[in-house]
Amino acid sequence: MEGIEFGALADLWWRSLQSVTGRSVSVPDPQVLFLSLVEELVAGLESEHFDASVGVRIGSALVVAGLVDPDVPSTSAQVLYRLAERSADQETGPRLAALLAAIGQGYEAELQRRRPGQHADETAVWEADRAADERFRAVFDNAAIAIAIGDTDGTLLDVNRGLADIIGVPIETLRGISVYDFAHPQDRDGIRSLVYEKLVPTGEGTVKLEQRIRRADGSFGWASFAITFVKGADGQGDYLLAVGEDVTEQHRMREELHWQARHDPLTGLPNRRHLIDRIDTMIVDAHDGDRAGLCFIDIDRFKHVNDRYGHGTGDQILTAVAARLQESVRGTGCLVARIGGDEFVALVPPPASDHRVATVANSLVEALVDPIAVGDRRLHMSISIGAVVTTVAGADAESLLDAADTGLYRAKADGKGRWVLHILDTDQTRGTQPVP
């Protein structure tokens, strides 16, 4: 972790604990002990296979060192959270939260093992045990992140306010219910597979998931969770510790960026990248004999419109043409994309006979029969189309577009407002006259 000096952090941790446990506490080689604990914590944070039990061992080590005070877990958390504040890795925060919670658990478990009769200062340990539990409860309940503890069957044993706020219900309504009760129905099988087929059988480790979560009002948001398997201590059962946060806004922003990367900002139509992805998927999914069609569309005399009326008018023309083209194939399963300038492509998915593609081409041409109103002007526009029909299996997206583009030049060579259909399998060509 860049910018973090482990020796300085270890020294700060030791001095902070001295202030709450009393300077009379004697810890042999405290600098060595706390530096090793910091390094172990960082190794746990950066491990490829995250394991929150690292925190349990650190919490136990604090008690073994004689640092017995109810403020030890919370003071440690305040110092160690600097690791998240100075890290650019988005995974550090949830991981560190899980480790800090585990430090509290390890601290409590070690105190339990040192009940009266097993420690020289049995009264102090017993009182610290009770107080530490109360302090851990306060931290658990008021943490800004969502924390849940569940059994290995998926039943929630305890939750904090952070999780209740995400869902929008009181805390007490979540205790005792299954995690599936607020998961989206389509996500439940994935959760079972990830947690109860991979995490629980191994009895260790952490899994991460991002899932839809049902709110009290019936809407669905998104939450990200790191779920850690924790082995029970002193005869207690194993359990799952989940640490999460509401990522609905981040998910919305990712979806918006994904949409923007695949759509034309002016017309809102799919762009070339989207079209290529769709064709590639179609090719992968194709069966022998499946045929598809492509209509390469160009607006006739569009440069003349731009030169005479300006680019503002040109943009309005492009927007209007895009809307008409899309409307003309609505309900047919065809995709209309703008691939640049005044060029559009209509994809006709399988089954695409030459008759079907010809019908689509006619519909596209006829969509421009009526003039387009731009301000007080009514401009008559037309399009030319080069279309291809070919088998899909083993095809190449760019080659199909090139073939359709070649057909477009043939259409324009014969005049405007025409379409030319080329059937690649048989090398046949068909065409139409301009629409009157």
Give the torsion through C-alpha atoms of 300, 302, 308, 313, to 10 deg. 130
Q: Does residue 70 have a cis peptide bond before it, meaning omega lies within 30 degrees of 0?
A: no
- The CATH number given to 145-257 is 3.30.450.20
Per-residue confidence (pLDDT) for residue 134, from 0 to 100: 57
Burial class (CB in 10 A: 0-12, 13-18, 19+), 385: buried
The answer regarding whether domain 262-431 maps to CATH 3.30.70.270 reads yes
- Model pTM score: 0.59
Those residues of the chain that have pLDDT short of 50 are: 3, 117-129, 426-427, 429, 433-436
C-alpha 318/C-alpha 299 separation (Å) is 9
> CA-CA distances (angstroms) from residue 49 to 148, 195, 224, 228?
21, 14, 17, 11
Per-residue confidence (pLDDT) for residue 68, from 0 to 100: 84
Residue spans per domain, the chain: 1-142, 145-257, 262-431
249-293 confidence digits (pLDDT tens): 998 999 999 999 999 999 999 999 999 999 999 999 988 889 999
367-419 confidence digits (pLDDT tens): 999 999 998 889 999 999 888 888 888 888 888 888 777 777 776 666 677 78
Q: Which of 218, 217, 214 is nearest to 248 (CA)?
A: 214
